[in-house]
């Protein structure tokens, strides 16, 4: 019995989400100020509370995690936006994340309230790679489940090739 293909999200909808996501990333990374005082004080209070409760968290650590998390959707959405027939198309996702992040950091050089860093490029790229990896895992699990559905039906009807008696060619030459 042939495996049913795993359905991917409609490419047009994914591409719209990708454009919206990229606009949000641009607003966050290229806006006139990194964060307002209220947001910074909330983050600082959270870091202080976590540190007081035994978790060695720093503001720089929170910022690093935020850089990774911000690009996880990049890996997922860019991969899903590629045509399904593009063999090996996922190979462009991580380099594209690197180029996108480097472009953001380059533009930040000319913004007075921004501080571009190579660390941000690296962490953004790691985030995209993690997003791509997560998508691949989810799709593999879905494929396996779709294949298991056929296997369950075959086992229920007795047509499961794994339950058939081994043929002579599968067990090797006979010993006399």
Query: Is residue 165 one of the residues assigned to a domain?
Result: no
Query: Is residue 166 one of the residues assigned to a domain?
Result: no
Query: Is residue 30 one of the residues assigned to a domain?
Result: yes
Average pLDDT, the chain: 83
Domain total of the chain:
1
Query: Is residue 176 one of the residues assigned to a domain?
Result: no
Query: Is residue 77 one of the residues assigned to a domain?
Result: yes
The rounded distance, in Å, linking the Cα atoms of 82 and 139 is 15
- Please write the tens of the pLDDT for every residue from 33-89: 766 667 778 888 888 999 999 998 888 898 999 999 999 999 999 999 987 666 567
pLDDT at 19 over 90: yes
pLDDT of residue 146: 85
- Runs of H (alpha helix) within 9-117: 11-30, 37-52, 59-81, 93-108
Q: Is-contact 79 132, C-beta < 8 A?
A: yes
Could you tell me the sign of the dihedral formed by the alpha carbons of 5, 138, 28, 30, in that order? negative
Query: Is residue 3 one of the residues assigned to a domain?
Result: no
- Please write the tens of the pLDDT for every residue from 110-165: 999 899 999 999 999 999 999 999 999 999 999 898 886 655 555 554 555 555 55
Domain residue limits at 76:
11-159
- Please write the tens of the pLDDT for every residue from 77-108: 999 998 766 656 788 999 999 999 999 999 99
Residue 137 has a CB neighbour count (10 Å cut-off) of 10
Reading the block at residue 50, the tokens are 């976590």
């Amino acid at each position: 019995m042939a495996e049913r293909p795993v359905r991917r999200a409609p490419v047009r909808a994914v591409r719209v989400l990708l454009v919206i996501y990229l606009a949000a990333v641009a607003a966050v990374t290229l806006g006139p100020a990194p964060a307002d005082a209220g947001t910074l004080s909330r983050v600082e209070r959270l870091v202080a509370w976590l540190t007081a409760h035994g978790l060695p968290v720093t503001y720089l650590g929170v910022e690093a995690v935020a850089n990774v998390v911000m690009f996880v959707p990049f890996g997922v959405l860019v991969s899903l936006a590629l045509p399904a027939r593009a063999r090996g198309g996922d190979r462009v996702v991580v380099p594209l994340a690197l180029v996108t992040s480097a472009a953001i950091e380059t533009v930040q050089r000319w913004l007075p309230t921004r501080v571009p860093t190579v660390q941000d490029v690296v962490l953004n790229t790691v985030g995209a790679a993690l997003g791509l990896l997560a998508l691949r895992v989810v799709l593999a699990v879905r494929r396996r489940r779709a294949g298991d559905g056929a296997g369950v039906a075959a086992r229920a009807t007795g047509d499961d090739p794994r339950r058939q008696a081994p043929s002579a060619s599968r067990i090797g030459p006979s010993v006399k």
